Structure 1
C-alpha cells in the first residue's frame, strides 16, 4: 500500500499475484468493480502512454526532433536522463491526431484525453505544438498528463502549457516525480520540494533523487497530505530570486494551515539562481552543502520580513520588531524563543526584558489558537500532552473515537449510551462512517476503513486519531471521563446551533422582538457552556 500508493484491496490482489496465490474474486467485487468509468480511465492512461512513446521517438530518432534534443543537451541533460524521464517533442506538423486516427481510436476517448484542442465544429487538433514534452505521472507511475515547454523564442504563446483538467489529471493533486522520489525518501532522505520540472530532473541527474514539484500552482492541502504520508522531513528548494522567495513564504504558510508535524526547512539559493542553474554551474556537491545548512522556517521568515522592511527609520524598525515578535511567539520551544530574543535585543540595542514583556501576551494568544493534536506524527515521536481546559472536548472526542475503533467493548458501551453524539460534526461523521464499516467487517483495519472515506478533511482527522499516544489498554475511568466531557457539552452545543439558526432566520424577516429574545437565550447558553468547561 505504502510503496505503490494502492488501496488495501488492490495491495492484497497485487501481493497475491506476486506469490501466485488464488484469491476469490468476490473479495474485490465491492472494492474495485470493473465499471465503465474505471475501464475508460485505463484506456485514457494507455492513450497517454502511447503519446509518450510517440513524442519520445520524435525527439530521439527524427530530424524534426533534433532542435528539441539540442535544447535539452544545452541544458546539460544527458541521453540517459532523457530516456529515464521519457521526455519527448511535439512538432509543429501535428502528427499525434493522424497517429491515433490510423489506430481507429474512439473519438470521445480522444476528446477526453487532453491531448487535443476542439474546434467549434467538433474537429480535434494537436494541443501541443513545437514543445518539449514532459510526461506527468501519478504516484503509481502512470502517465496522466503532460507539460509542454515551448521551443520557439519568438512566439507569443505561453512558455509552458499543461494538459487541461481531465478524469486523470488534476494538477492540484499531482506531485511531479513522486513515483521516482518515493523510494529514496523512504530510505530516510528528506523530500526536496522544487518549483519546476527542470529543477527536479537536474537534481536527479546529479544524484539528488528525492526531489518533487507541484504543478505550477501554490502548494495544496492534498499535496501536503501526500508528502506527510511518506516522510517527516521536507526541505523547500525554490528559486533564489524575489518571486522565488515569495513562493517560499506561500509554501510555509500552506504548511502552517495544515497544522503539520513535519521537520520543515528552507534553502535559499544564492545569487538569485534557481536550483537547476545552481547545480549545473556549481555542481551537485555544492547543492548538497546548501541542503545540509538549510534554515528553519522562522529564520527564513525573519530574513524575508527584514527584506520587506525599512530599517533605516525608527518606525520601520518598530514595525519589524513587532512583526518579528509575532513570529517568535509561534515557536514552541522556550529555549529557541529566548535565543531569538537575544538576537533581536542585540541587533537593535533593546532591553531584552522589554521584548519579553511584549512577547508574553502574544505567546498566550498563540497558545489558545494552537491545536493540541495536529497533523500526523509518527508513533515513536508522539508526545503525551496535557490539554488546556478549552481543549478538553476535542481531546475527549479524539481519544474516545480511537478507543471505539480499536476496542469492540468500548464501541458497544458507547453505542449503548442513550442520546450519545459527538459534539463536532467531523467526529460525528467519522462515527457514522465507522457504523457502516462495522456493518460489513468484524475486525477494524485502518487502511480498509480509510479507503471508505472520500473527504480529505476526514482522512486527515482519521490520521490524527490514529497517531495519538495512548496507553495500550483503556481503563473504565478513561472511557467514562471522555463520555462525561462529551455528553455534558453536546446538549448545550446542539441547542446553541439551533438558537443561532433561529436568530439568522429572525434577522432575515426583520422580527426584532424575536431577535432580542434569542440573543438573551444564546448568552445564557454560552454562560452554561463556559461553566461546564471550567467544571
Structure 2
C-alpha cells in the first residue's frame, strides 16, 4: 500500500487541473454561454447533452446523469481507482504525490515499485528469448501456426520463457531481492531452500493494467509438451488481482476509447487470435469467472457486453455465472448479449473457420441476456414434470433473489410465468416470499452476541475449543472427511469456516485464526476474543475427544432440524427431486450415526 493521500493535496490537484482542458482530450466541446457542450463520453448520443462548467469545474450529462469533477471523470472514464486518478492528475501537472505513510508503508511502496520494475525486466527478457533462444524456431513456428504474425506478436509483446529452471532467476537476482521476485510471482521457492522460475518452456503473454503497466504474465505450454496446466497465470500479487483485471483491455483502449461493444472471451489466445483476424474488441478474464468488478469495468468502457462461451457444459455453466453477474447492472444504456459457439470451436478457431464478416454478424445477432436465461431454463427443465417444474422455479428464485426489479427481471418473470402456466403475480409472490425469508434469516444471523459464560450453548463450546487449539484440530482432522451440516445460526457458519481455515493451514495460532475469521465476520471480533478467554481445564487429547463428540451432536441436531423442515414441507407442497434425495441422505446419516 502507498498510504493515504492528504486532503490538502487532493484539493491542490483538483484546483490545478482545468476540467474543460481535461475533458476536451476525450470528447469535442463547444462553448455555449458560460458552459461547454459536447456528446457524452459515457454513453452514445447524437445530440450533445454533456455540459462542462469552467466556473464550477464540474461536468453533468442530461442524458445519463453522469456528473462530477476531474477526479470523477478520470475514475469513471478510464476505470481508475481514486488513488490512480489522483496520481494521473498529479502527473499532468508535474506534481509528486505526498503519500501519508509510516516507514513500514514507505518500505512497501518501494517494494511495489521494485515489483513493477522486475516485471518489466522479465517481459524484456522473455521477448529477447523469443528472438534468440535455442528453441526460438519451434516457438515461432507454433505462433505462426496459430495464425499470429510478427506485428500482432509485437502489439501484445508476446515472448517465450526458456526451457530452463533458473534462467530468469539468475538474470534478475543480480538486481532484485528474492522477496521482490517472489512477490512479483516470477519465481517459486523450493522447500529445501533456493528458488526456480515460475514460467518455463511457455509462450508468454504480458498482462497489463488499465495504465499499461505490466502486472503479471500468462504462459501457454507448447504443443506436444507434458507440462501442466496448459495455461498458467501469475499468482495474485501486491499489483495483480485477477478479479479486477481483463486481458487485452489496455490494448483495446489504446485504439478505441468508447467501443460500441466488447466481447468477453475465456483466454488470452482468443483475444490475440480475434485481433489477428481483424476483430480488436475482445478481452479475457484471467483464470477466474467473470466478477461484478469486471462487469463494472466493462460498462465504463462500453454500453454493450457480448459474452462469448464454448458450447460445451463447462461453457454453459460459465455463461450462467456470467449472467448472474451482469443482470443487476442491465439497463436501457447497459446491455449484455450471449454468443454460444459450436462445441468444437473456441473464438480463435471459430473466426478462422467462418471469417471476419460472419463473425461480426453473429456478434450483432447474439442473444439478449434475458432471452438467454429464459432459453437456458426451458431447455434444462421438463415443464410436464412437477419435480422439474419445482426445480425450475427454485433456480429462478436463486438467480433473482438479490437483483432489484427492472425491465429485464419483469420480462423474465412474464415469459416464464407464461411458459409454466401460472400468473405473473403468483410467480412474483413466490420470489418475494423467498426474499422475505432470506432477509429475516440474515437479520437474525447478524445480531451481535454477548457471551454468557454461565450458560454456553453447544455450538459456543465447540467454537471455543476450535479457536483455542487450531494446531491440534488440524492434526486431529487431517485426512478425515470434511465436516458439513445445515447452518441455522451465525455460529454454525463461523464454526464451519473455522474448521475449513484450520484444515487448509497448518501451524495456525489462535490469534491468526481470529484475524482470518475477523476478515469475514468483523463485527464479531470481540466475541472471538471472549471465546479465547474461556478457561480450558482439559489437556489437548481430551479436548479433541470432547470436540469430536460435540461436532457429532451438532451434525445430528442439524440433520434432525433439516429433516423436520422437509417433512413439514412435504405435507403442504411437492418436494423437488433434490429435496427428496437430501431427505434420503439425512435418514441414511441418522441411521449410520
TM-score range, shorter chain: 0.5 to 0.7
Secondary structure at the aligned position of 2:298 is classed as: helix
Q: Counterparts of 1:204-219 in structure 2 under 5 Å?
A: 204-219=275-290
In the alignment, is the contact (CA less than 8 A) between 2:413 and 2:424 conserved in 1? no
1:4 positional shift: 4.9
1:32 positional shift: 12
Of 99, 108, 112, which aligns to 2:179?
108
Gaps of at least 5 residues in structure 1 are 346-354, 372-492, 512-535
Structure 1 residues 230 and 369: CA distance shift in structure 2, 3 A? farther
Of 229, 247, 250, which aligns to 2:300?
229
Aligned to 1:362: 427
Aligned to 2:369: 297
In 1, Cα distance between equivalents of 2:218 and 2:248: 13
Structure 1 residues 74 and 510: CA distance shift in structure 2, 3 A? closer
Of 341, 344, 360, which aligns to 1:269?
341
1:255 positional shift: 2.9
Deviations 1:300-326 (A, max 9, x none): 223323443357x65587568757987
The farther-off stretch of 136-145 and 183-192 is: 183-192
Aligned to 2:564: none
In 1, Cα distance between equivalents of 2:122 and 2:133: 16
In the alignment, is the contact (CA less than 8 A) between 2:260 and 2:303 conserved in 1? no
In 2, Cα distance between equivalents of 1:192 and 1:32: 43
In 2, Cα distance between equivalents of 1:162 and 1:368: 43
Q: How much is the aligned-residue C-alpha RMSD, in angstroms?
A: 4.0
Of 141, 158, 165, which aligns to 2:236?
165
Aligned to 2:170: 98
**Given the alignment of the two structures, is residue 144 of structure 1 paired with residue 144 of structure 2, yes or no?**
no
In 1, Cα distance between equivalents of 2:122 and 2:343: 39
Structure 1 residues 22 and 70: CA distance shift in structure 2, 3 A? closer
Aligned to 1:279: 351
1:333 positional shift: 6.3
Secondary structure at the aligned position of 1:136 is classed as: strand
Aligned to 1:332: 407
Secondary structure at the aligned position of 1:69 is classed as: helix
Of 144, 154, 165, which aligns to 1:73?
144
In the alignment, is the contact (CA less than 8 A) between 1:178 and 1:212 conserved in 2? yes
In the alignment, is the contact (CA less than 8 A) between 1:305 and 1:320 conserved in 2? no
In the alignment, is the contact (CA less than 8 A) between 1:208 and 1:284 conserved in 2? yes
In the alignment, is the contact (CA less than 8 A) between 1:184 and 1:210 conserved in 2? no
Secondary structure at the aligned position of 2:359 is classed as: helix
Structure 1 residues 338 and 215: CA distance shift in structure 2, 3 A? closer
Structure 1 residues 501 and 170: CA distance shift in structure 2, 3 A? closer
Secondary structure at the aligned position of 1:287 is classed as: helix
More relative contact order in 1 or in 2 (CA 8 Å, sep 6+)?
1
In the alignment, is the contact (CA less than 8 A) between 2:185 and 2:235 conserved in 1? yes
1:183 positional shift: 5.3
| Aligned length, in residue pairs | 372
Of 193, 204, 215, which aligns to 2:264?
193
In 1, Cα distance between equivalents of 2:164 and 2:410: 64
In the alignment, is the contact (CA less than 8 A) between 1:9 and 1:31 conserved in 2? no
In 1, Cα distance between equivalents of 2:297 and 2:101: 22
The farther-off stretch of 142-151 and 332-341 is: 332-341
Structure 1 residues 113 and 309: CA distance shift in structure 2, 3 A? same
Aligned to 1:522: none
Give me the TM-score of the superposition, normalised by structure 1: 0.60
Aligned to 1:414: none
Give me the TM-score of the superposition, normalised by structure 2: 0.54
In the alignment, is the contact (CA less than 8 A) between 2:413 and 2:427 conserved in 1? no
**Given the alignment of the two structures, is residue 124 of structure 1 paired with residue 199 of structure 2, yes or no?**
no
Aligned to 1:406: none
**Given the alignment of the two structures, is residue 47 of structure 1 paired with residue 118 of structure 2, yes or no?**
yes
In 2, Cα distance between equivalents of 1:510 and 1:99: 59
In 2, Cα distance between equivalents of 1:190 and 1:370: 34
In 2, Cα distance between equivalents of 1:77 and 1:334: 42
In the alignment, is the contact (CA less than 8 A) between 1:309 and 1:316 conserved in 2? no
The farther-off stretch of 239-248 and 183-192 is: 183-192
1:88 positional shift: 1.1
Secondary structure at the aligned position of 2:243 is classed as: coil
1:293 positional shift: 0.7
In the alignment, is the contact (CA less than 8 A) between 2:133 and 2:162 conserved in 1? no
In 2, Cα distance between equivalents of 1:328 and 1:9: 34
Normalized per residue, the structure richer in helix is 1
Q: Counterparts of 1:16-27 in structure 2 under 5 Å?
A: 17-18=91-92, 21=93, 23=95, 25=96
Aligned to 2:511: none
1:230 positional shift: 3.3
Secondary structure at the aligned position of 1:128 is classed as: coil
In 2, Cα distance between equivalents of 1:155 and 1:502: 54
Secondary structure at the aligned position of 1:168 is classed as: coil
The farther-off stretch of 226-235 and 159-168 is: 226-235
Secondary structure at the aligned position of 2:160 is classed as: strand
Secondary structure at the aligned position of 1:240 is classed as: coil
